[in-house]
Structure 1
């Protein structure tokens, strides 16, 4: 659980850094005004990400009205999928019901698209 929480926190830091230093990433944030969250299915590990004014902020608690939520079966599964080098790990996670998505699928696709800018 701790490692998964740390990974979500680290992701927020990568997004904040990219928003400051990467013009292409900032371009992807342009016009987006929403919150989304990543969590375990039981909600014991959750992090919200708020995109507004080409910036990203984050808190380690649930958002009241996220545009989408990506829930992983458990912390270990989330860690495994999010750190996988396999490009298809996420899609396979959905097919195997290890990942559940609620909300706006077009925003989820947007998030998938920006993840290429988030290399440590």
Structure 2
């Protein structure tokens, strides 16, 4: 349940960042991306970035450009909510608790987008 809620909140945070941060809005302006984040048992949420907006819906889509697949909901929650998110992400990849399917370049672009969610230093 916490994992699904976190994915829903992720969509809301991305929407807010695009709305409030002009630099973030420019980052997504001409980008179209369909991706999903899920657990290995298939629970997850898909996201669509297009026309400068983020939309998301429960469930999976048929043709995402990439999919982040976590071993289970607890691991997904731990990685996605970690303070040191890049380290947690890389450690999960190394330990195979996270698998990436699809276009890795798009994953890197998405990680750039999530940088806008970090508090300004």
TM-score normalised by L of structure 1: 0.93
Q: Give the 3-state SS of the residue equivalent to 2:68 in structure 1.
A: strand
Q: Map 1:1-120 to 2 at 5 A.
A: 2-43=1-42, 45-86=43-84, 87-119=86-118
Aligned equivalents of 2:111, 2:57: Cα separation in 1:
20
Moved over 6 A (4+): none
Number of residue-to-residue matches in the alignment: 118
Q: CA RMSD in A?
A: 1.2
Shift of 1:33: 1.0
Shift of 1:85: 1.6
TM-score normalised by L of structure 2: 0.92
Unaligned runs of 5+ in 1: none
Aligned equivalents of 2:76, 2:18: Cα separation in 1:
24
Cα deviation, 1:8-66, whole Å, max 9, x if unaligned, reads 000000011112121111111122112101110111x2111100101000001111111
Unaligned runs of 5+ in 2: none
Aligned equivalents of 1:20, 1:33: Cα separation in 2:
17
Aligned equivalents of 1:47, 1:22: Cα separation in 2:
24
